[in-house]
Amino acid sequence: MLKKDEPLPAAPEPTSVLQAPGAAPAPAPVPIAAPGRPVPASSPKRSDEELFDMGGLEGLTMADLLGPDSGRQGRSQAAPKATAATPAAATPVVARSVDDFDFDADAFLAALDEQDFVGTTGEVVTGVVIALESDGVYVDIGGKAPGFMPKKECGLGAITNLKERFPKGLQVEVLVTREQNADGMVTISARALALRQSWERVKAMEKDGKVVQVKVTGFNRGGVTCDLEGLRGFIPRSQLQEGENHEALVGKTLGVTFLEVNAETLKLVLSEKKAAKAAKFAELEVGQLVEGQIVAVKPYGFFVDLGGISGLLHQSSITGGQLRDIREVFTQGDRVKALITDMDPGRGRIALNTALLEGQAGELLIDKDKVMAEATDRANRARSVLRQQEQAAG
């Protein structure tokens, strides 16, 4: 018990929650200096900027901060950092260049070739028949797997015996219709290739303006059907010479030419009448004397039927004399001999001339019968005049 006026004892220092009562006080924390920096003698109170300054940690790794640890070094695959206390590892790490690896450009290209795809849709390829099944043919076209050609794609028309048509070892040219599946197999077709080639040939015929022979295979209300280069063609009734009785044409062969050729829409439209005109045009030439019948009278001249095609005798080419009315010389139904002075087969036009048959200008107005009777001899003289005019113009 304290006596009066006795000073109170000093209060004990507060202990940390981790320090047992009565234990020696924990030593003051020793400041940690960054490697290469001395520890200051005293630790005066520093500002927050100084406390959180990270400048001293520049260039340090996590291993520098954590220090050596045998357990960690055992788990790490990297070599320990060499220091004055711990010498560098005896086995140095050797850097390898690309040349040290077992792989070159030839090997790379060979690897690409092994993965190369054979057969793009629409591509024409050549192969060899290697096997036949009831539903198709297998053809080696150079890919990882053979190409398969279904029976219905083996050609135009029905094929009853695949073994006879495609014996093993036969070299065939086919069209790729479907690219490789997961097994590397492509679908091919001889029929599709034949159809493509047929359309190409027909387009060439149309371009040349050829007259071709076709066999009528059937009919309907609008016309008749036929076969041309394996393609189905159609001839409208209006384009037939005997359109009123077109059913009777089945089995007959007709000469036709082209009205429309369209591979995209599969349209092949033909004309017998146009072919007849084309054949007639082939028999005619400029300077030739022809004979026909006037079938129409127009203010500008006469249309003359020359046997399936018409020629125009323009009013300026009728006579060298003065005409008040073109009917002064000819009228509808008259037979006329005239010279051909111009032709345009593409547009189906023929220009005729009777004035060149006159001995003197206006002779047809005076003696038309004499001019027509002597037309052959007069045509020879007229052709000489035409040649002289062409030479002078040329």
Q: Is residue 105 part of a domain?
A: no
**Does 28 score more than 60 pLDDT?**
no
* Cα 358 to Cα 334: distance, rounded to the nearest angstrom: 18
Q: CB neighbours of 305 closer than 8 A, spacing ≥ 6?
A: 292, 293, 294, 295
Residues 265 and 290 in one domain: no
* Cα 159 to Cα 154: distance, rounded to the nearest angstrom: 7
Say how many C-beta atoms besides its own lie within 10 A of residue 228's C-beta.
19
Q: What is the pLDDT of residue 67?
A: 59
Residues 267 and 298 in one domain: no
Q: What is the pLDDT of residues 200-211, one digit of tens each?
A: 999 999 988 888
Q: Is residue 131 part of a domain?
A: yes
Residues 236 and 159 in one domain: no
**Among the ranges given (73-82, 114-123, 213-222, 328-337), the one the predictor scored with the smallest mean pLDDT:** 73-82
* Confidence category of residue 69, pLDDT binned at 50, 70, 90: low
Tell which of 194, 228, 251 closes a domain.
Answer: 194
pLDDT higher for 23 or 269? Answer: 269
Residues 266 and 298 in one domain: no
pLDDT higher for 107 or 180? Answer: 180
Residues 288 and 268 in one domain: no
Task: Write down the residue that tokens 């024409």 correspond to.
Answer: 124
**Among the ranges given (49-58, 160-169, 199-208, 333-342), the one the predictor scored with the smallest mean pLDDT:** 49-58
Task: Write down the residue that tokens 């304290």 correspond to.
Answer: 2
* Confidence category of residue 64, pLDDT binned at 50, 70, 90: low
Q: What is the pLDDT of residue 145?
A: 78
Residues 225 and 292 in one domain: no
Residues 378 and 293 in one domain: yes
Residues 221 and 174 in one domain: no
Give the domain CATH number at 142.
Answer: 2.40.50.140
Q: What is the pLDDT of residue 92?
A: 58
Q: What is the DSSP string of 309-365?
A: SEEEEEGGGT-SS--S-GGGT--TT-EEEEEEEEEETTTTEEEEESGGG-SSTTHHH
* Cα 245 to Cα 8: distance, rounded to the nearest angstrom: 145
Q: Is residue 114 part of a domain?
A: no
* Confidence category of residue 280, pLDDT binned at 50, 70, 90: confident
Q: What is the pLDDT of residues 218-242, one digit of tens each?
A: 999 999 999 999 899 999 999 998 8
Residues 291 and 267 in one domain: no
Domain count, the chain: 3
* Cα 187 to Cα 149: distance, rounded to the nearest angstrom: 6
Residues 263 and 300 in one domain: no
Tell which of 166, 194, 222 closes a domain.
Answer: 194
Residues 261 and 351 in one domain: no
Residues 318 and 247 in one domain: no
pLDDT higher for 136 or 60? Answer: 136
110-119 as b/e, with b when 16 or more CB fall inside 10 Å? eeeeeeeebb
**Does 381 score more than 80 pLDDT?**
yes
Q: Are 285 and 295 in contact (CB under 8 A)?
A: no
Q: Is residue 230 part of a domain?
A: yes
pTM, two decimal places: 0.54
Q: Is residue 373 part of a domain?
A: yes
Residue ranges making up the domain that contains 182: 124-194
Burial group, residue 130, by CB count within 10 angstroms (0-12, 13-18, 19+) = middle
Q: Is residue 19 part of a domain?
A: no
**Does 82 score more than 50 pLDDT?**
no
Taking residues 185-213, what's their average pLDDT?
Answer: 91
**Does 103 score more than 60 pLDDT?**
no
- Helix ranges, 52-189 (H): 62-66, 70-75, 105-114, 162-165
Q: Is residue 153 part of a domain?
A: yes
Q: Is residue 62 part of a domain?
A: no
Q: What is the pLDDT of residue 150?
A: 92
Tell which of 273, 294, 316 closes a domain.
Answer: 273
Could you tell me which of 195, 181, 173, 169 has the C-alpha nearest to residue 123? Answer: 173
Tokens of residue 278, six digits: 């084309």
